[in-house]
Amino acid sequence: MKCFSRYLPYLFRPPSTILSSSCHTEADIISTVEFNSTGELLATGDKGGRVVVFQREQESKNQPHRRGEYNVYSTFQSHEPEFDYLKSLEIEEKINKIRWLPQQNAAYFLLSTNDKTVKLWKISERDKRPEGYNLKDEDGRIRDPSTITTLRVPVLRPMDLMVEATPRRVFANAHTYHINSISVNSDYETYMSTDDLRINLWNLEITNRSFNIVDIKPANMEELTEVITAAEFHPHQCNTFVYSSSKGSIRLCDMRAAALCDNHSKFFEEPEDPSNRSFFSEIISSISDVKFSHSGRYLMTRDYLTVKVWDLNMESKPIETYQVHDYLRSKLCSLYENDCIFDKFECVWNGSDSVIMTGSYNNFFRMFDRNTKRDVTLEASRENSKPRAILKPRKVCVGGKRRKDEISVDSLDFSKKILHTTWHPSENIIAVAATNNLYIFQDKVN
Amino acid sequence: MLGKGAKRKLDEDEEGLEGKALAPGAGLTADGLSKVSYTLQRQTIFNISLMKLYNHRALTEPRLEKRVLINNMLRRIQEELKQEGNLRPPLFFPPSAPAEHPVDEGFGEAQPAFSVLSMVSTALAPPPALPPPPVTPPSSGLSGPTPLDACLTPASLLEEDDASVCTLPLPLSPSPFQQGLSRFHSPLSRDSFSSALDNIEELCPSASAAAAPITTSPSYCGKACSPKPEGLAPPPEGRALVATATESKPMETLPPSSLDMSTSPPSSSSSGFLTDLALDDILFADIDTSMYDFDACTSTSGTAPSKLSPVVTADDLLKTLSPYGGGTSPVTQNQPFKMDLTELDHIMEVLVGS
């Protein structure tokens, strides 16, 4: 796998985090990461409701080695904690997902969501300000009109760059259950928000109305056995979207067929392997993430132990299945007890759809090359990655003799989990969130 | 991995050792040990699942997906136990006190103590003595009391004794609930989770054959059944065994208590672990429960014992009194719960005192 031969780890943390990762505050835990469509910006959301946006430095001939480093561009508080008085429960401010809108002018727009409310934020730069007002002086104090003898036209003068984020739309009160996904449509006019039982379609301009397109809530809640876990629009076909379920199935729906898309057009599900059946078969088949390939031809799903690639034309089984951490299969009971079995790992394609990546425990993350069928396990940790050092592949030994540098299954740290990763849309740059630390790795092919 | 009689690879050494140690003495076969360890694991998972659902006191609303998955797990185990009920020795469950229910718009949980007890009683029941429907509704499968473990509360004995009273003849024309029950069993008959299931099928081939052709909605074994053309929206008939089980109870004991029918769907009460509770109506008929009825829908039921006026449990009261439970959707149960008489007295004292 030539493209992963060298990696330059670049360590980044949100400014408010304590340096030592062992005593971070809960609010600093990164809950989502997302590159924008050009890769120039990288947004992270955390449990405290904050969004931090990084911008890539322009290449400069003076400092070629600093090509493409990401610096903090803007930080803002997107969501605040709320209280649901009806149920006497708190509504977490944790940012569940961030999705960028395609750039149409100088400003950047992103959607960020917590459990209940989606917000559209505008991030814009201000590098000029008007000077020479008539009615107020430079400090902003109002001038006494009787002292004004001449009039002047204010002029724009350069100022220090200021990046401001303003909430432009708030899409609230449309979800009874927890929002788990948002997805912007390729028509750039609509987007959908998905909770456990319903999917709503919004127009980006209209906040007081949304259209329900999928509703799987049963008439009797006691009969509920399946929930929606993720959903995404097709990258090119604005009428097509998919949603995944907690039972390991994916449904592809066409909005042209009916207003309410409870009837799917395609149903993707792999029959259960009887030899692998256990008490936990259903839980580990629950799909935690679903992503279309950039080409729109394939679909990738992540369940607890595997990543699967599906061809949209074949519903009966995936075309590829990759084992992420199969050594956990014998530990499912313990993982059920400590709730790790419910961890929701995300998965991501690279720009050319040739490599897929997903996270694991112990701050490991895995990459699978679909063409060469080779895979690698890497670790995101400060001890192991000096700046510009090459990331060393890691290996988990499953039994028998443990070689040097291998780590045994029992030594894995299950509190260090990499749930959120993202890949630059065109280059080999990845961002990996390890609890409260953000790692940005680049591939430097010389 | 946990197939019929097949040794699990990872425990192979373990079992080998155990086999050597115990085989001469206890006379257990390796196959028996595998079943025992399977049962132990299942029981462990069951207990863990109950703890997860009921001991979780979160400030924020618990995740629905997690609760659904745990609930499915519990239902599956309960089904297994019910299938094996007449073949296995009594299962011992600790009488865990149910903690606060996670409040939700509608997705409710059962009270574990009672569910456990009801499960035990159904597990102990011999094969149904009743004529068709082919599948025994859990509430009526108790035709012979079996001594329970001493650690169970006295209420369980109550239930057990009156189970025979409760086994009223079912309506011969299968109600939608009975059909729902039989429907749910059919996918399970294809689920070779438990080796005992095959034995059961051998014993009652007509039962499984009758139930086989009926398929259900995307249930846990939905893959084996004919896939539903539509999405996840379930068909109008009853699907899950658990929901229908609770509803079948009022059906069989009373003329339609329409109050109960109409109110049980919206209530976030028991998801079907509660079975066989109609006897409460007989037991507690003389107790005036009108004051304890917090459910807005059934507030008009008054004190008429002929209607299935709910007997509020200690947990209902705790729930309505606690800050987390207050102000939620009409959450109080409509189905009468078994309750120890002494507990009821205690609760009354508390209420009157406060």
Mean per-residue pLDDT, B333-338: 47
Q: Taking residues B26-34, what's their average pLDDT?
A: 62
Among residues 28-57 of chain B, which lie with CB inside 8 Å of chain A? 41-42, 44-45, 48, 52
Residues of B in contact with A330 (CB under 8 A): 10
B323–chain A Cβ distance below 8 A for any pair: yes
Asked, for residue B82, whether it belongs to a domain, the answer is yes
3-state DSSP assignment of residue B164? helix
Structure tokens at B150: 């001493």
pLDDT of A234-259, one tens digit each? 999 999 999 999 999 999 999 998 88
Select the residue of A219, A222, A263 nearest B231 (Cβ to Cβ): A263
Residues of chain A with C-beta less than 8 angstroms from the C-beta of B104 = 87, 221
Interchain proximity A218–B233, CB inside 8 Å: yes
**Statement: residue A108 has pLDDT above 70:** yes
How far is A35 from chain B, CA to nearest CA, in Å?
27
Say what the ipTM of the complex is.
0.89
Position B86 confidence tier, pLDDT thresholds 50, 70, 90: low
pLDDT for B307 equals 41
Q: Is A345 exposed, middle or buried (0-12, 13-18, 19+ CB in 10 A)?
A: buried
- Name the residue range of residue B42's domain: 33-87
Q: Does residue B48 have a pLDDT over 70?
A: yes
In this structure, are residues A298 and A268 in contact, taking their beta carbons and an 8 Å threshold?
A: no
Residue B70 within a domain:
yes
Nearest CA in chain B to A178: B63
Closest partner CB to A89 (pick from B60, B63, B223) = B60
Q: How confident is the model at residue A442 (pLDDT cuts 50, 70, 90)?
A: confident
Mean pLDDT of A370-385: 86
- Looking at residue A333, what is its pLDDT? 93
Q: Does A127 touch chain B (CB under 8 A)?
A: no
Q: Residue B17: which residues within 8 A CB-CB, separation 6 or more?
A: none
A21-30, A119-128, A428-437, B126-135: range with lowest mean pLDDT: B126-135
Asked if residue B273 is part of any domain, the answer here is no
Residue B76 lies in a domain: yes
For residue A267, what pLDDT band results from cuts at 50, 70 and 90?
very high
Are A362 and A407 within 8 A, CB to CB?
yes
Average pLDDT taken over every residue of chain A? 89
- For residue B51, being part of any structural domain is answered with yes
Nearest to B72 among A225, A229, A330 (CB): A225
Least confident of A101-115, A201-215, B279-293, B336-350: B279-293
Chain A interface, mutation test: which of B60, B71, B190, B331, most A Cβ atoms within 10 Å?
A: B60
The residue type of A442 is: Q
Cβ atoms A151, A134 nearer than 8 A:
yes
Q: Residue A333 in contact with residue A341, Cβ under 8 Å?
A: no
State which of A22-36, B15-29, B205-219, B326-340 shows the largest mean pLDDT. Answer: A22-36
pLDDT tens column, A11-56? 443 333 333 344 568 889 999 999 999 999 999 999 999 999 999 9
Residue of A nearest to B71 (CA): A225
More confident residue, A198 or B283: A198
List the single residue in B with minimal CA-CA distance to A342: B66
Cα B242 to the center of its chain, rounded Å: 7
Q: Which residue of B has its CA nearest to A331?
A: B10
pLDDT band, very low/low/confident/very high, at B286 (cuts 50, 70, 90): low
Highest mean pLDDT among A297-301, B181-185, B333-337: A297-301
High-pLDDT (> 70) share of chain A, %: 91
Chain A stretch 213-232, residues whose beta carbon is closer than 8 A to a beta carbon of chain B: 214-216, 218-227, 229
B69 found inside a domain: yes
CB contact under 8 A, A87 and B328: yes
Residue A77, number of CB atoms within 10 A of its CB: 11
Which range is least confidently modeled, A21-35, A396-410, B55-69, B169-183? Answer: B169-183
Q: Of A330, A325, A336, A300, which is closest to residue A417 (Cα–Cα)?
A: A325
Tell me, what's the pLDDT at A120? Answer: 98
Q: Which of A259-263, A267-271, B162-166, B255-259 has the highest mean predicted lDDT (pLDDT)?
A: A267-271
Shortest distance, CA B334 to any CA of chain A (angstroms): 14
Q: Which of residues 149-168 of B touch A (CB under 8 A)?
A: none
Residue B88 has pLDDT above 60, yes or no: no
Give residue A52's pLDDT: 96
Is residue A50 within 8 Å of A78, Cβ to Cβ? Answer: yes
Q: Which of A310-324, A380-394, B57-71, B219-233 has the lowest mean pLDDT?
A: B219-233
Task: Count Cα atoms within 13 angstroms, Cβ side, for B247.
Answer: 27
The pLDDT assigned to B153 comes to: 42
Using CA atoms in the order B101, B106, B107, B112, what is the torsion angle rounded to 10 degrees?
40
Does some domain include residue B53? Answer: yes
B351 belongs to a structural domain: no
Q: Which residue of A has its CA nearest to B238?
A: A223
Identify the residue with better confidence: B321 or A321: A321
Looking only at the bridges linking them, the beta strands covering A406-408 and A395-397 are parallel
Contact call for A223 and B10, based on CB within 8 A: no
With cut-offs at 50, 70 and 90, classify the pLDDT of residue A377: very high
The residue type found at A298 is: Y
What per-residue confidence (pLDDT) applies to A171? Answer: 97
- pLDDT-wise least confident of A24-38, B50-64, B65-79: B50-64
CA angle A197, B264, A217 (to 5 degrees): 10
Who among A223, A279, A339 is closest to B234 (CB)? A223
Indicate the residue of B3, B227, B229 with minimum beta-carbon distance to A263.
B229
The rounded distance, in Å, linking the Cα atoms of B214 and A410 is 46
Task: State whether residue B120 sits within 8 Å of chain A by CB.
Answer: no
For chain B, how big is the Rg over CA atoms in Å? 21
**Is A439 a residue whose pLDDT tops 50?**
yes
- In this predicted structure, the answer to whether residue B166 has a pLDDT above a threshold of 60 is no
Rounded Cα distance, A177 and A224, in Å: 13
Rounded to an integer, what distance in angstroms lies between the CA atom of residue A95 and that of residue A333? 30
CB contact under 8 A, A222 and B271: yes
Domains plus CATH for chain A? 4-12+31-122+170-443 (2.130.10.10)
Q: Which of B64, B80, B208, B9 is CA-nearest to residue A87?
A: B64
Q: Which helix or strand (DSSP H or E) is residue A73 part of?
A: strand A70-77
Query: Which tokens go with B207?
Result: 């039962």
pLDDT (average), residues A95-121: 96
Q: Chain A window 6-45: which residues touch B at a Cβ cutoff of 8 Å?
A: none
Would you tell me which residues 101-120 of chain A have a C-beta closer than 8 angstroms to some C-beta of chain B? 115
User: Which residues does residue A252 pair with via DSSP β-bridges, in sequence order?
Assistant: A242, A266
CB atoms within 10 A of CB B236: 8
Query: What is the pLDDT, as a whole number, of residue A9?
Result: 41
Contact B48 A89 (CB under 8 A): no
Task: Choose the mutation target among A85, A194, A216, A223 for the interface with B, i.e. most B CBs under 10 Å.
Answer: A223
Greater model confidence, A434 or A14: A434
User: Any CB–CB contact under 8 A between A337 and chain B?
Assistant: yes
Number of domain units in chain B: 1
Model confidence, pTM: 0.64
Q: Which residue do the tokens 């956990």 mark?
A: A328
Q: Give me the mean pLDDT over the B329-343 stretch.
A: 54
Q: Please, which residues 235-254 of chain B have a Cβ atom closer than 8 Å to chain A?
A: 236, 238-240, 242-243, 246
Q: Are B59 and A94 in contact (CB under 8 A)?
A: no
Question: What's at A271, amino acid-wise?
Answer: P
| Chain B residues closer than 8 Å to A248 by CB | none
Q: How confident is the model at residue B84 (pLDDT cuts 50, 70, 90)?
A: confident
Count residue pairs from A and B with Cβ separation < 8 A: 152
Asked if the C-beta of B68 comes within 8 angstroms of chain A's C-beta atoms, the answer is yes
| pLDDT category of residue A93 using cuts at 50, 70 and 90 | very high
Least confident of A189-203, B79-93, B212-226: B212-226
Q: Which of residues 367-426 of A touch B (CB under 8 A)?
A: none
Predicted confidence at residue A401, as pLDDT, reads 74
Please name the member of B66, B218, B268 whose beta carbon is closest to the beta carbon of A247.
B218
Please report residues of B whose CB lies closer than 8 A to that of A92.
60
Q: Which residue has the higher pLDDT, B152 or A234?
A: A234
Q: Check pLDDT > 50 for residue B27.
A: no
> Pick from B222, B231, B272: which is nearest to A251 by CB?
B231
